[in-house]
């Protein structure tokens, strides 16, 4: 158990259930965001009014801060309790994070006057030293009741990492307290944090942390809080909507779950050209059949903010839970995503849009100015370095391109097939072929090689290397037989769809197409594998050698398992491609081997490839994608045929 949690529960036990808490009805307003992913600037968005597409900017820290302040002021005017919460995944997702490693997040989030935050998987993108620094720098508590940090050298002594926090309210005024006893007759709200129980197996940098089961730890923490006399409990989670809904039905005593990770914007946004997702503020009956829990989430990137008002009965149960997500947009609209002055909507259309937004029924969107002070601070302290690193515009994305690990109905990757296509294109350009001396037949890309989707708007070279493909794994070119390719695909797919797998090994392709049929949970067979030969789809021959492009995950046999390791164990012809002092170079590989700990090692024929050297750049996937967009697809849209048929049970 977490050392801090042990101390907190001991304090609860010592306090006992005696409490002088008021039995008067109580109302609490929660403003909340999640999955902001270092999107401190506003994003381009496509909306629809009167069936006409228009483009504007949404979100950004300065706009979210301004709207949160408006909600604070409303609560102050109504003398109502108010909290502003972040449900995790504040980190990795933009060039800002690449440059500042969490320090900017600590700075800006503190300036936004949050009252608490929990941890998402992106907070574990680096190592616990960076995470500890972030938690120590922020001026609000970071909550995780089911995280045990006692064995971790970096986080075990971080006092600001807590299982929960208590706030006592006197009207709109709040005070952080150590116990209900310290609050006197003032109502107390407990906010407890929950992180994913499977974080340690999700490929994150968790050090020596351990993660306890979400439901059991939530219930034991709630029970201890109730014993002290806390009547109002909020769970701040980063589990995903489905697990939040399950939590509400398996744990007694949580009044509100403010969640993250799902990223979908709860509510109906079809009138704005968006989608209709699950309702906001859905209530579930607890296992005891007496209490109920209200579940809310906002969207992603800080484009919207959620607001829920919870009213409690005299005995502390939820009687009402109402609110919604509000998309925060700029006041200027355009007919094109490039948003040039000549592309502004007409004055008549502008007035029509403003009237639609001002409509009393359109409470899911609001025109909100950016907080001037925070916007100027970001523009002065952080933007110049980022804009320099981003470089020139190489294309435009008319519609957001989504990325998901597995291609299932309604949720697939539009980005991974483009990345695979870019590598096949790049390898077969004249300049690259002069280095490799080979013609690539097809390309395989692991889903985990892509960091995120591609948002609508202009796309710059630096965004590709810093956000979309930020890794340091080179493109590899290796000879494999058709039989070996089939084995690689089978092992990678079975590994990706196995129970509890994260899908990271799933192979997306270019110049190749296949059909996989699942026959039992996490297992199946390939019914078709074809490659494009002279513009015609041709069945892959088991005995023919093909030149296959791979990224680091597959090339190191992590996703292809034993088949790919065996294929490179003796006298492989694989070459890894990287830039040295700005010039493309090939690094021939002799074979793969395993060290005493079982880790795979690459043995080079001549000079080893050291991606940590200052003059070496191994991120050839980013170079390939940049060239592909600039040369072939300056208007970047999804491919019509991704080449994959995945038939799940």
- Res 634: pLDDT: 95
Cβ proximity of 114 and 84 under 8 Å = yes
Q: Does residue 235 have a pLDDT over 90?
A: yes
162 or 205, greater pLDDT = 162
Provide the pLDDT confidence category of residue 360 given band limits of 50, 70 and 90: low
Let me know if 51 is exposed, middle or buried by CB neighbors in 10 A (0-12, 13-18, 19+). exposed
- Each residue of 185-194: pLDDT tens digit? 899 999 999 9
What is the band of 16 on the pLDDT scale with cuts at 50, 70, 90? very low
Q: Check pLDDT > 60 for residue 34.
A: yes
The predicted model scores a pTM of 0.87
Query: Per mean pLDDT, which range of 200-204, 458-462, 631-635 is the poorest?
Result: 200-204
pLDDT for the residue numbered 570: 82
User: Closest Cα to residue 495, out of 402, 487, 527?
Assistant: 487
Mean per-residue pLDDT for 489-509? 87
**Is the distance from CB of 35 to CB of 120 less than 8 angstroms?**
yes
Torsion (CA) 613, 614, 616, 618 in degrees, nearest 10:
80
> Residue 175 — very low, low, confident or very high, per pLDDT cuts 50/70/90?
very high
Percent of the chain exceeding pLDDT 90 equals 78
Q: Using CA atoms, how far apart are residues 409 and 355, in angstroms rounded to an integer? A: 37
Compute how many other C-beta atoms are within 10 angstroms of the C-beta atom of residue 502. 17
**Residue-level pLDDT at 383:** 97
Which residues have C-beta within 8 Å of that of residue 4, sequence separation ≥ 6? 149, 159, 161, 162, 163
Q: Is the pLDDT of residue 109 over 60?
A: yes
* Domain 393-647 in the same topology as domain 3-386: no
165, two tokens: 């926090």
| C-alpha torsion sign, points 461, 465, 466, 468 | positive
Q: Is 366 exposed, middle or buried (0-12, 13-18, 19+ CB in 10 A)?
A: middle
Query: CA 571 to CA 592: how far, in whole Å?
Result: 9
Q: What is the DSSP letter of 464?
A: I
Supply 145's token pair: 């009741």
Q: Which of 452, 469, 468 is nearest to 403 (CA)?
A: 452
Q: Distance between CA 480 and CA 590 in Å, rounded? A: 15
Secondary structure of residue 552 in the 3-state scheme: helix
With 60 as the cut, is the pLDDT of residue 606 above it?
Answer: yes
Half-sphere exposure of 149 (CA within 13 A, CB side): 23
Q: What are phi and psi of 262, to 5 degrees?
A: -70, -35
pLDDT for position 48: 94
List residues bridging with 591 in a β-sheet: 603
3-state secondary structure 468-495: HCCCCCCEEEEEEEHHHHHHHHHHHHHH
pLDDT (tens digit per residue) in 524-581: 999 999 999 998 999 999 999 999 999 855 555 554 578 888 888 888 999 999 999 9
Interaxial angle between packed helices 103-111 and 372-381, expressed in degrees from 0 to 180 and rounded to the nearest 10: 160
Quick: pLDDT tens for 38-76.
999 999 999 999 889 999 999 999 999 999 999 999 999
* Residue 393, pLDDT above cutoff 70: yes
3-386 folds as Purple Acid Phosphatase; chain A, domain 2 (3.60.21)
- Domain range annotation of the chain: 3-386, 393-647
Taking residues 334-340, report their average pLDDT.
92
Percent of the chain with pLDDT over 70: 94
pLDDT of 404 over the 90 cut: no
Pairing type for strands 116-118 and 81-86 reads parallel
Q: In 10 A of CB 129, how many CB atoms? A: 13
pLDDT at 476: 95
pLDDT over 70 (residue 22): no
pLDDT greater than 50 at residue 288: yes
Which has the minimum average pLDDT: 87-101, 396-410, 624-638?
A: 396-410
What integer pLDDT is reported at residue 233 of this predicted model? 97
CATH label, 393-647, candidates 3.40.50.620, 3.90.780.10, 3.40.50.720, 3.30.110.30: 3.90.780.10
Task: Quote the DSSP letter at residue 253.
Answer: S
> In angstroms, what CA-CA distances link 486 with 12, 141, 203, 529, 575?
59, 50, 26, 8, 21
Which residues, 6 or more positions from 69, have their beta carbon under 8 angstroms from its beta carbon?
Answer: 371
The Cβ-side half-sphere exposure at 598, using a 13 Å CA radius, reads 3
> How high is the mean pLDDT of the chain?
91
pLDDT at 15 (0 to 100): 44
Q: Residue 47: beta bridge partners?
A: 54
The average pLDDT across 234-245 equals: 96
């Amino acid at each position: 158990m977490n050392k801090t949690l042990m101390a907190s529960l001991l304090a609860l036990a010592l306090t006992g259930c005696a409490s002088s808490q008021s039995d008067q009805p109580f109302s609490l307003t929660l403003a909340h965001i999640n999955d902001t992913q270092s999107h401190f600037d506003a994003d381009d968005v496509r909306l629809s009014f009167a069936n006409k597409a228009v483009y504007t900017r949404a979100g950004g820290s300065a706009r979210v801060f301004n709207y949160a302040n408006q909600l604070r002021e409303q609560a102050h005017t109504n003398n109502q309790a108010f909290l502003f919460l972040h449900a995790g995944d504040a980190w990795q997702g933009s060039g800002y994070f690449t440059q500042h490693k969490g320090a900017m997040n600590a700075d800006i989030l503190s300036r936004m006057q949050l009252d608490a935050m929990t941890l998402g998987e992106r907070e574990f993108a680096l190592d616990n030293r960076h995470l500890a620094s972030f938690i120590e720098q922020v001026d609000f508590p970071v909550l995780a009741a089911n995280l045990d940090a006692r064995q971790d050298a970096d986080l075990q002594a971080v006092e600001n990492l807590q299982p929960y926090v208590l706030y006592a309210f006197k009207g709109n005024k709040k005070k952080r307290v150590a116990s209900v006893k310290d609050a006197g007759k003032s109502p107390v709200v407990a906010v407890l944090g929950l992180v994913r129980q499977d974080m340690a197996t999700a490929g994150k940098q968790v050090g020596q942390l351990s993660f306890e089961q979400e439901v059991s730890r939530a219930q034991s923490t709630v029970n201890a809080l109730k014993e002290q006399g806390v009547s109002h409990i909020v769970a701040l989670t980063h589990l995903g909507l489905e697990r939040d809904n399950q939590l509400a039905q398996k744990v007694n005593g949580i009044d509100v779950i403010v969640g993250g990770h799902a990223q979908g914007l709860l509510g109906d946004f079809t009138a704005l050209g968006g989608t209709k997702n699950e309702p906001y503020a859905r209530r579930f009956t607890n296992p005891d059949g007496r209490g109920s829990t209200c579940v809310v989430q906002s969207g992603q990137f800080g484009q919207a903010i959620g607001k829920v008002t919870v009213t409690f009965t005299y005995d502390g149960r939820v009687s009402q839970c109402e609110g919604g997500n509000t998309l925060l947009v700029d006041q200027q609209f355009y007919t094109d995503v490039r948003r040039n002055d000549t592309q502004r909507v007409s004055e008549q259309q502008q007035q029509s849009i403003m009237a639609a937004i001002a409509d009393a029924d359109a409470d899911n969107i609001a025109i909100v100015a950016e907080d001037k002070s925070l916007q100027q601070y970001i523009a002065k302290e952080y933007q110049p370095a980022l804009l320099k690193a981003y470089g020139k515009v190489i294309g435009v994305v008319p519609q957001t391109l989504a990325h998901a690990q597995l291609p299932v109905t309604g949720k697939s990757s539009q980005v991974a097939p483009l990345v695979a296509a870019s590598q096949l294109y790049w390898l077969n350009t004249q300049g690259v072929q002069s280095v490799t001396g080979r013609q690539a037949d097809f390309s395989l890309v692991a889903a985990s090689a892509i960091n995120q989707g591609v948002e609508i708007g202009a796309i710059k070279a630096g965004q590709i290397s810093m956000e979309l493909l930020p890794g340091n794994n080179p493109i590899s070119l290796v000879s494999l037989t058709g039989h070996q390719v089939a084995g690689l695909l089978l092992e990678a797919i079975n590994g990706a769809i196995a129970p509890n797998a994260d899908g990271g090994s799933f192979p997306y392709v270019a110049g190749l197409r296949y059909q996989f049929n699942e026959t039992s949970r996490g297992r199946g067979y390939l019914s078709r594998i074809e490659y494009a030969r002279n513009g015609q789809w041709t069945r892959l021959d088991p005995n023919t050698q093909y030149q296959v492009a791979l990224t680091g995950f597959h090339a190191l046999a992590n996703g292809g398992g034993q088949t790919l390791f065996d294929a490179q164990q003796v006298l492989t012809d694989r070459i890894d491609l990287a830039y040295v002092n700005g010039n493309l170079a090939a690094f021939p590989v002799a074979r793969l081997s395993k060290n005493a700990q079982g880790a795979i090692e690459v043995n080079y024929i001549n000079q080893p490839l050291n991606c940590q050297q200052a003059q070496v750049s191994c991120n050839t996937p980013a170079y390939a994608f940049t060239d592909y967009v600039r040369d072939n697809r300056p208007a970047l849209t999804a491919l019509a045929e991704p080449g994959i048929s995945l038939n799940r049970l």
